[in-house]
Structure 1
Amino acid sequence: MLSLATRLRALDDATLRAALEARMVAPTGIKDFFDLADALLEPSAVQKTLTHLDRASLSVLATAGELIRSVAAEAARLNALDPAASTPLAPAVPTLTDIAEHLSSVSGVEVTTEHVAAHAAELDSVLLCLLADGQLSPYDAVSAQLATWPAQGLPSTTELATLAAPDALAPASEFDITFTNRLAAERAFASVSSIAELVSELARDPARELSRGGLGLPDTKRLALVMGVEVDSVAVLVAIAARAELIAHSEGYWMETETGEAWLLHPTPERWATLAEAWHADVPRSVRDILPQEPGIVWGSGLQGFVDWMYPAGGEWMAAQVAEFARSAEILGITAQETTSVAGAQLLSGDPEAAQATMTDSLPTEVGAVYLQHDLSIVAPGPLAPSIDARLRSLADVEGRELASSYRITAASVNRALAAGENADTMLAFLGAISLTGIPQPVQYLIEESASRYGRIRVGSLPAGSAPNQSYVRSDDAELLGTIAVDQTLSALGLERHDHQLITRFASDLVFWALSDARYPVAAEDSAHEIVHLRRHQVARVIPPTPVDPAQTLVDKLRASDGSEVMAADAWLARQLDSAIRSKATVMVSISMPGGVVVDYLLEPASVGGGRFRARDRRADIERTLPISSILSITPAP
């Protein structure tokens, strides 16, 4: 612990912060570098870090510890044979070459020094060992924890080096690959369509996030119905959409973002690419490195077996991560029936452009024309181009969302379009341009009639100071205004008659949409009684949270606890002596003698008090009492 504490204090801030982040150190109870060293060498903390190491790194670490124990045992045997030796033999620290040669001998496979060096550097960076001058020395607590592994059912040092990887993941047949690609394209199209419905629905009616997390059951059922999926799939699709920032959590609600609004206008292959790339970017590196990057490879139990072999102590957390991303991969068509599709393999190998091109060839061709029916329905003979679909949604209600979508024009939907700035001419021109059957008379009549009636009812905000009343409803048609006043579907608005208008305490936009949904020819107006166009939904802006870096906070706290250089030096010496006494460790103490001479003593401190400390001189085998003020440095014994 003393040597680790000394090392921690000497690290620069950037290196120390990176190490603390990698070790996931909780700052609670850590006041100085000795507390930090204690926390890092706690068996549970060591085990937690070991579970995140792959087999190759664990082999290097365990082998280094085993070589040190072997050399220490030999040194102890030789010292016992010659107890009168003036300089007892000290255990040697293995070099990287020693470790490579030992692993090669045990495993029967050549292990290069470069291979060992790469893993040793990683182990050193997470403070499990010390790499210096080409030598690797695991901390005692780390080696002790690895020594307990066989009793826990985890691999021993020899098993880490010798247990071969499981058989390669099974490839599918050529027929199966063709089927896989077809099924993957179907799932990709279905997921893109479902998420498009999700984004559109949240634009119309945001879903509330529960305080404990997740959506409430009513919102979940509503979204499942709109998306055409099972209730259990809603959370996964919400997560996929949120990962791509198409929706965001804002003020307690899930809402569409500006990114989502733009995404709805993109062609289906581009939509899929956005979702797939966001999925890939969010896959942890530890998971990404083990996912098969060849098409036609079956994941399934073979992948799980490989995960267990690669991360022998991290099966549970790694399996959970793989399972989470594997489910999303199935939904997005990156895999189909646990088999990598061609587009999925291209994405996993780092070529998203090729993946999008492959998916473009596999997805259904988009159409740009529809059939307008006399019953006011609109039927698309295939998946509509997103730009046409978005425009149709503004003036018609969606009735069916499959390969052939269907819509229906209603008085409320036309009124909604009018409120957004459309007029009869623009709507009829648009429908005429995309219709394969012209514009049936009932459609034209409904649009023109609705446009002529639009604005017979006006909603506006009352002047400031009119609280608690916020808005009004007015109309020249007194009978129509009376109908609104007694309409039970609008009773929640609390409309009250006042002169020639109705007033309510609710905001004008809420009143407007309530009347619009009730199919009244309502328009919003400003203070000058000019018609204004309203946007029904709010857009959530994705604002990155203020980053909180607990690792950097802990670094700052540790540096502040050091105080001034003089105070830090005195406190550091006292803690080093106290730590050495508790652990009965031997340390090298440099003492400034009269005349400026510096003498190094190999001491085992026994007590501290009165500005002096008492210790056993291991070389002279006598007890010494020395002034603390004369100490220049204390370092762990070699």
Structure 2
Amino acid sequence: MAATLADHLRSLPDQELAALIALRSDLVMPVPGDISALAVRAQSRLSVARALDGLDRFTLEVLDAVRVSRAPDTATTSVEAVLLLTGEGGVDQSRVREALGRLRALSVIYGSDASLHVAAGVDEMCSPYPSGLGRPAADLDADAAALVADAAGLRRTVLAAPPAARAVLDRLAAGPPIGTVSRSALTDPAADSPVGWLVAHHLLVPTADDAVELPREVSLLLRRDVGPLGAMQPEPPTVEAPVREISAVDRAGAGQAMEVVRQTEALAEALAAEPAPILRSGGVGVRELRRLARAVGLTEPIAALLLEVAHAAGLLGESGGETGDVVVLPAAGYDTWRITSLGQRWARLARAWLLMSRLPSLVGQRDDRDRLLPALSADIERVGAPGQRRAILGVLADLPPGTAPTAEDVRTVLVWQAPRRMGRGATSAGYDAAVTEAATLGLTGLGALTSYARSLVAEVAAAEQIDPDSDPLGLTPEPPASAAVEALDALLPAPVDHVLVQADLTVVVPGPPEPALAGELALVADAESASVYRVTADSVRRALDSGYVAADLHALFARRSRTPVPQALAYLIDDVSRRHGGLRVGSAGAYLRGDDEALLAEVLADRRLSMLSLRRLAPTVLITPYAPGRLLAALREAGYSPVPEDATGTAVLTQPRSPRASARPVGPPRRVEDPMTAPRLTTARLAGIVEQLRRGDAATRAARRAPVTVRANGGTAGLSGAQAHTQAMAVLQQALRDKARVWVGYVDAHGATNSRLVRPVSMGAGYLRAEDERTEMLHTFALHRITAAVPEETST
């Protein structure tokens, strides 16, 4: 029977020991030397706190039942005693056994059913008053112990308590059993107070000048209607929330998903037109964020959210600006993302939000030093953010489809699922912000989780469970198409390849445009909303500057428009085209030439261009000392339509290329780690750790029990170095003759003392060759480095 946790761990099969390490992987960071060290680490304050933080309310209540039912003399209990204690409260015994199984799997409790032990450190990390019960009266006061020893007298005293005193008893019986009072209530006999009456009748015991405690026996008497452990909660709280039609939920969420994709594209295009500089302290400043929000037509919180999500998805990146400063602009992968389907674009953004360890809701708030927190800064990193979002969506996914709970309902369930974690530094504002962000990104609609978001959450969870060891060479076929993407694409309208041109020169797109159509519209028209564009003189000039001619634009609108092309649009194209290229700009400081002498004379006399210092070089040529770019901009601002040309006189008509940052690789969905636990270990790594622990434990016991004990410096206790070496050689020669296994202690190349269980094969020429049967490897030891040798039967 295991009396200590080390003995219990040592007796576990390899599979169960590996399961424990998988659940509490912080125990092997780094790997301890043996199982005794593993047990010490498992009972440390930090490790115990991590194990308890992941438990739900009912499991913690069962742990309190184990602590309450322990015998005072042996500090142990039994499963039967725990079941009897919880059964008085009407709790299903099968649920109690399940909770005990979870506690055993974590080694929070250990031992046989008849002798359960609580791991050291649990009492220290839990409340000193399990289940809200105080200490026994015998541990508090002799008069109180005498009172509770008389059961009938105790009941009469409780019944005789005044109403105010009875209210105090009921409040303390619900837990915690301690309270603070004024000193006069305890020391002044004339003071007429409920606490003074209870103390005088030994129902409360003073523990300090201003503190009292309710004995455990009194609490048990007062809890006779609800059970000795109080009201237990084996099930999560029921959520009373309206249920929406799932079709309506999906339609609302899909509309928001399409809108958030459009807004992300608009934000990226705004950054391409004018990249946002990175502050020296890191992040995008509040002023730049405000500019971006105004340019895209968003509120600052939503702009911050989309900026963070797009950056996490690899759509935005940092690059050196023209002046050497670092700026944020679209990354190389942004153009590829734009040509995928709407469902794929949304899924990439949603996955990035689920997995990123950043809290966009903190942008614009102030830190401890009263400084504003900028977007994309390291100050808004929170390792618990992915787990927080996963927990929220998990609660929504567990509800019936279409259920729309409030943020407070979600928080109530989360408090039951992890009361220790939620009660430590968790604020409702953070969870409310996550719920709002899920709605903004289209994961929820009308307050309920959409069906495609439910599929996405399941896909991310399944990807987390994939064991890398199952496919070390990467030969597994490509995963199937995302069900979430397919479901969302089915909800969204099919991409269209046509437009409706109106008489007021607006262009209506009756659905999401195809990538080719979207590129053409971005060039020839200005966006006014998600589906409405407007053709202006500037947009026509922009198209002509990119290489279109008037005939191309007429053909484009005739091909794409399902309505007759208005005559006003044809006139606009012809008018802008007629003026386009009438003036040409080149580099010489810069020069301006044209075939129309009257037009050049008009430009030369235009007072709006006086700052260019134009002068006539020839009847058809003007020059300026300023650069061609400034000359072009000034002429266009004044209403002219010049085009640039190269040194040969050929017009330079090219589509402008938006700057791009270097590509930011985005890997497959990774496991969202619990912030309070170490990373997940693979199956092969777990097996190796168990093997290492077993070998280290065997070596420790062999060194402890063997007649020749290896010292840390390579010597042996009780023997000189020469004597120990001689004895080790004799043991090895005997093992070689008997073909027996032997523990060999040796000093490795780094000067560290190690040991290995091997079977000697040969010994000569200054070397021992031996086989390790566990790893099926042949090892070679230099004889002068061997410090001890112990037969296997001696060490067991």
TM (norm. structure 1) is 0.61
Residue 26 to residue 347, structure 1, CA distance change in 2 (3 Å):
closer
Instruction: Quote the residue 1:55 is aligned against.
Output: 56
1:339–1:495 distance in 2 versus 1, CA, 3 Å: farther
- Aligned pair count reads 514
**SS where residue 420 of structure 2 aligns?**
coil
**What is residue 662 of structure 2 aligned with on the other side?**
541
Separation in structure 2 between the aligned mates of residue 237 and residue 247 of structure 1, nearest angstrom: 11
Q: Which residue of 1 aligns with 2:593?
A: 476
CA distance in 1, matches of 2:575, 2:603: 20
Listed as ranges, the matches of 1:455-474 within 5 Å are 455-456=581-582, 472-474=589-591
Moved more, 258-267 or 301-310: 258-267
**1:405 alignment counterpart:** 532
Rate the CA distance shift 1:317–1:137 in 2: closer, same or farther, 3 A: farther
Query: Which whole-Å CA distance do the structure 1 matches of 2:583 and 2:111 have between them?
Result: 80
Q: 1:521 aligns with which of 641, 647, 652?
A: 641
Question: CA offsets, 1:297-324, max 9 Å, x none?
Answer: 2233221111001111111448666434
Question: Shift in Å at residue 249 of structure 1?
Answer: 4.1
Task: Decide whether aligned partners of structure 1 residues 543 and 365 sit closer, same or farther in structure 2, where only a CA change above 3 A counts.
Answer: closer
Shift of 1:287: 4.7
Mapping of 1:155-194 within 5 angstroms? Answer: 162-170=232-240, 172-173=242-243, 177=246, 179-194=248-263
Please give the secondary structure, in 1, of the residue aligned with 2:54.
coil
What's the secondary structure of 1:537's corresponding residue? Answer: coil
Alpha-carbon spacing, 1:165–1:19, altered in 2? closer, same or farther (3 Å): closer
From 340, 346, 349, the counterpart of 1:275: 349
State whether structure 2 residue 518 is matched by structure 1 residue 389. Answer: yes
Question: Where does the alignment leave 5 or more consecutive residues of structure 1 unmatched?
Answer: 8-14, 77-90, 463-470, 553-568, 570-575, 577-586, 598-628, 633-638
Q: Which residue of 2 aligns with 1:429?
A: 555
Give a deviation string over 1:528-555, Cα, whole Å, max 9, x none: 5542525242122343599xxxx99xxx
Of 280-289 and 228-237, the range deviating more from structure 2? 280-289
* Structure label with greater radius of gyration: 2
**Secondary structure of the corresponding residue to residue 590 of structure 2:** strand
Quick one: which of 387, 410, 413 aligns to 1:306? 413
Residue 474 of structure 1 aligns to a residue in which SS? strand
Structure 2, unpaired ranges of 5+: 11-17, 133-174, 178-227, 321-325, 357-385, 460-480, 668-677, 680-695, 709-717, 720-726, 731-786, 791-796
1:394: Cα distance to partner?
0.5
Query: What amino acid does structure 1 have at the position aligned with 2:404?
Result: V
1:438-587 aligned at under 5 Å gives the runs 438-456=564-582, 472-477=589-594, 501-504=623-626, 520-526=640-646, 530=650, 531=652, 533-543=654-664
Q: After superposition, where does 1:37-436 map in structure 2 within 5 Å?
A: 45=46, 49=50, 52-55=53-56, 59=60, 62=63, 66=67, 70=70, 73-75=72-74, 102=82, 106=86, 108-110=92-94, 123=106, 140-148=120-128, 162-170=232-240, 172-173=242-243, 177=246, 179-211=248-280, 215-251=284-320, 252-280=326-354, 283-284=386-387, 285-293=390-398, 294-299=400-405, 300-315=407-422, 316-317=425-426, 322-350=431-459, 352-354=482-484, 356-357=486-487, 360-361=490-491, 368-373=498-503, 377-380=505-508, 382-387=510-515, 388-398=517-527, 400-402=528-530, 404-410=531-537, 412-436=538-562
Q: Secondary structure at the match of 1:533?
A: coil
TM-score (norm 2): 0.50
**1:266 deviation in Å?**
4.4
Distance 1:428 1:364, change over 3 A: same
CA contact (8 A) 1:248 1:540 kept: yes
How far 1:196 moved relative to its partner?
3.0
3-state SS, counterpart of residue 419 of structure 2:
coil
What RMSD, in angstroms, separates the aligned Cα atoms of the two structures?
6.0
What amino acid is the match of 2:624? L
Q: Cα distance 1:51–1:368, how it changes in 2: closer, same or farther (>3 A)?
A: farther
What SS does structure 1 have at the residue aligned with 2:624? strand
Work out the CA distance in 2 between the residues paired with 1:394 and 1:452. Answer: 19
For 1:44 and 1:162, the matched residues in 2 are separated by 26
- Report deviation, 1:453: 4.4
Does the CA contact (< 8 Å) of 1:59 and 1:161 recur in 2?
no
* CA 149–481 in structure 1, closer or farther in 2 if over 3 Å, else same: farther
1:517 Cα shift? 6.6
- 1:15-62 residue CA offsets vs partner (Å, 9 max, x unmatched): 9xx9999769999xxxx99xx99x989988458735741327964995
TM-superposed CA distance for 1:257, in Å, is 2.9
Q: Distance in 2 between matches of 1:269 and 1:511?
A: 45
Q: 1:190 to 1:130 in 2, by over 3 A?
A: same
Cα separation, 2, equivalents of 1:360 and 1:160: 51
Q: Check 1:273–1:417 CA distance in 2 against 1; reply closer, same or farther (3 A cut).
A: same
Distance 1:119 1:130, change over 3 A: closer
- Residue 523 of structure 1 and its aligned partner are, at CA, apart by 3.8
* 3-state secondary structure, aligned to 1:248: strand
Percent identity for Structure 1 against Structure 2 = 21
3-state SS in 2 of match to 1:292: helix
In structure 2, how many angstroms separate the alpha carbons of the residues matched to 1:61 and 1:539? 58
CA contact (8 A) 2:318 2:328 kept: yes
TM-superposed deviation, 1:589: 9.0
Q: Give how far 1:326 is off.
A: 1.8
Deviates more, 1:323-332 or 1:312-321: 312-321
CA contact (8 A) 1:180 1:339 kept: yes
Taking a change above 3 Å as real, the CA distance of residues 378 and 266 of structure 1, as seen in their structure-2 partners, is: farther
1:97-146 CA-partner distances (Å, limit 9, x unpaired): x779947973533259887666655x47xxx89999xx998763454112
User: Distance in 2 between the 1:324 and 1:24 partners?
Assistant: 34
| SS of match in other structure, 2:483 | helix
Q: Check the 8 A contact 1:54/1:310 in 2, yes or no.
A: yes
Query: Following the alignment from structure 1 to structure 2, what is the Cα–Cα distance between the partners of residues 322 and 192?
Result: 24
